[in-house]
Amino acid sequence: MDPREQLRRKIEAEYRQLPRLRLTLPQATLLFGADADTCGSVLQELIAAGVLRRTLTGHYVALATASRQRQATLPPRHLVAVLFTRHDASVRLVRIARSDGTLELAVHGPGPSAISYVLTFTECLQRQSRIEHTLIAEGYHLHKALAERRSGRERRHSGRGPDRRRSA
């Protein structure tokens, strides 16, 4: 078997066995015992094949498999927002979980423009990753990434009722 194919299978097996594995290119070259060029090109092949994705911090992580997609489904209307800025321009990416199990990816900016996509979990992460890489290539910087919480009027001001815990 071709050494490159062996490396590809080794990387895939490692990410399958440890689905939360996060490696940078230097870490991957040490772990898999390959030179940086070969390891980098194999990792890029795995991104193109939909096995891995590269985060904004340069870590290679596994994309969710179908069984993990169901576990990772966010509660309805759960928001995750990312803000990119460049000088006086900004782009906000908002990922919203829908009750049907799909995700809505809304892209606000630059300027008054806005576009929205309804995608499966994997498609949404892939699309968001491509958009983020494009923004970084265009000189935008990650300003803020957060899971939005209720605030203002939406925030609960009173308790949930009587304490339901048992007395000891």
Q: For the chain, what is the HEC assignment? A: CCHHHHHHHHHHHHHHHCCCCCECHHHHHHHHCCCHHHHHHHHHHHHHCCCEEECCCCCEEECCCHHHHHHCCCCCCCEEEEEEEECCEEEEEEEEECCCCCEEEEEECCCCCEEEEEECHHHHHHHHHHHHHHHHHCCCEEEEEEECCCCHHHCCCCCCCCCCCCCC
If you classify domain 3-63 with CATH, what class do you get?
Answer: mainly alpha
Q: Where are the domains of the chain?
A: 3-63, 68-147
pLDDT for 40: 93
- Region 49-75: mean pLDDT is 69
**How do residues 14-56 score in pLDDT, each as one tens digit?**
888 888 888 999 999 998 899 999 999 999 999 888 889 888 8
Average pLDDT over residues 140-155: 61
pLDDT at residue 72 greater than cutoff 50: no
Indicate if the pLDDT at residue 1 is higher than 70. yes
For the chain, give the percent of residues with pLDDT over 90: 18
Q: What is the pLDDT of residue 42?
A: 93
pLDDT band of residue 106 (cuts 50, 70, 90) is confident
